[in-house]
Amino acid sequence: MRLTGAQIVWESLVREGVETVFGISGGAVIHLYHALPDYPIHHVLTRHEQGAAHAADGYARATGRVGVCIATSGPGATNLVTGLATAYMDSSPVVAFTGQVATGVIGTDAFQEVDITAITLPVTKHNYLVTDVRELPTVIKEAFHIAGTGRPGPVLIDIAKDVQAAETDYVYPEGVYLPGYTLPEEDASEQIRQAAQMLNEAQRPVVIAGHGVVLAGVEDELLEFAEKSGIPIVTTLLGIGAMPETHQLCLGMTGMHGEACTNLALTEADLVVSLGSRFDDRITGPVGQFAPQARIIHVDIDPAEIDKNVPADLAVVGDLRDVLPALIPEIEKRDHPEWLARIQEWRDETAKRDIVGKETDDLLPQFVMRQIWHATQGDVIVVSDVGQNQMWEAQYFVHHRRRGLLSSGGLGTMGFALPAAIGAQLGCPDEQVWVTVGDGGFQMNIQELATVAQEKLPLKIAVLNNGYLGMVRQWQQLFFEARYSGTPLLGPDFAQVAKAYGITGLTVREKEQVGPAIAQAMDTDGPVLIDFCIVQEENVYPMVAPGAPVHDMIRRPDAADEQG
């Protein structure tokens, strides 16, 4: 059949199984929006293109499917960049469509022209500029294949305005031919056998479960592996949910604000196995002092990650969908009673020194997070923003379900949570979705409350409001002589802002109000925002100081008083 470029886009998306697209219209994509009503695709009008990119990202993280966003040329396209960089750093599959000026004026600095393919080259897995309508079906097929296979990531397709209006005979390819795009195909059986031998010989092994476990969907296999091998599991921030945190062998999150017991276990381990983790600097600290007694096994689908940060004694390049099922039969059924007993001592010490236990009338953020967990029993999707609120969520909300926590890890993008939660809720309409966000990050994309209201999404939004850019304030307190420069934050009455959008808004100032407010939110069919006015200068503990090894942690200074 003969179609315009605009029709080709939507017809191809339908064939890729796309049901939801996030975006904002504009002059360079007006042909696309003109054709859209003829196709069974739900368009979500965000209020900023960054929100569209984060929403597509949140949709992808919650569902495992490719998220799609769209923006016009110039400022519309550049507004996507932060969202694309966020998706790129966290290996999230997104396809972004942007409009471009007509082919005849590309390169003339035409109105709203930017070279968006050059701008996004460092933050996309691949990108395209389409100047011939006949290439469009193949480009779209390739983009979805690249975004969703191997190590996932964002792909951008920039389409000239006249290409959207041009016609051609439409044939959608059944497959792709990409000789320059290869996935791991080498036989890794020998490396898997060596890994099993190292695991069987280790006396103090630890596994780091990263985001790759979640992306591969091998949570069941990881649990089977852990229970057979008796090896304790620590997770990265984005690996939370890879193994139920209620399981005895799951020690929790490691790294700069991880559980102290996880950092101590890595420091004393004689073998560290990384599954789908890139050894981020927030996990390792100075590389020369990371796991100094351990041999390293690094399993990753991306060969570029091997030896990039931490040298590996054994590298296994492959998909965890293949590697873990092949590894499990090779390992011995073992227990590590002495090692686990030592770890339990650290866990008990962690509970005494770092977990807030003191009864107080103050409204503490840790208490708020625990109450949300108690009320929901963890059977929800939580989308957290970045900063102190993110760490308190990771520490005090006990995750036991797959894809139960969505957050910006690698880029640390404030403003991620609200639009990403919009995508997660639309991707998982039968799930309850909670947003946990600080007052600073919330104001960066607060306009997306309008999208929440327009789409009638039942999001539950918990604002941990301390009147500061909290994590930076904490650094200033601890390392910069408590000079709070550029961090005190004057915010609005968030409950009233929510009400202005037609959203139920609650303000909580007292500890006794927390439980009833959460219960009211859960009993309300529509969206609810709760403004928790928490203690202003509460800190996240433990904390690894910049440049310090991960075992050298700053602990809660009042812990002894609380326990006394």
Catalytically active residues are 49, 111-112, 161, 471
Put the strands of the sheet holding 504-508 in their side by side order.
405-406, 381-384, 433-438, 460-465, 528-533, 504-508
d(C-alpha 121, C-alpha 155), whole Å: 10
CA torsion angle 456 83 138 130 (round to 10): 110
d(C-alpha 388, C-alpha 541), whole Å: 10
Backbone angles phi, psi at 317, to 5 degrees: -90, 115
Q: Which of 186, 209, 205 is nearest to 195 (CA)?
A: 205
What contacts 497, CB < 8 A, 6 or more positions away? 446, 449, 505, 529
Q: Quickly tell me which residue has 């904002």 as its tokens.
A: 24
Could you tell me the CA-to-CA distances from 108 to 8, 111, 144, 384 in Å, in that order?
A: 27, 9, 31, 42
For residue 232, give the amino acid letter: P
For residue 562, give the amino acid letter: E
Output the six-digit token pair for 453: 């209201």
For residue 13, give the amino acid letter: L
CA torsion angle 88 89 93 99 (round to 10): -20
Could you tell me the CA-to-CA distances from 28 to 32, 108, 164, 362 in Å, in that order?
A: 9, 16, 9, 53
For residue 12, give the amino acid letter: S
* Contact (Cβ atoms closer than 8 angstroms) between residue 387 and residue 441: yes
Q: Which of 357, 362, 416 is nearest to 389 (CA)?
A: 416
Output the six-digit token pair for 524: 């309300």
d(C-alpha 149, C-alpha 145), whole Å: 6
Q: Which of 351, 387, 388 is nearest to 259 (CA)?
A: 351
* Contact (Cβ atoms closer than 8 angstroms) between residue 233 and residue 250: yes
Output the six-digit token pair for 272: 């560290």
Q: Quickly tell me which residue has 């050894």 as its tokens.
A: 279
Sign of CA dihedral 96, 99, 102, 107: negative
Q: Which of 449, 423, 414 is nearest to 526 (CA)?
A: 449
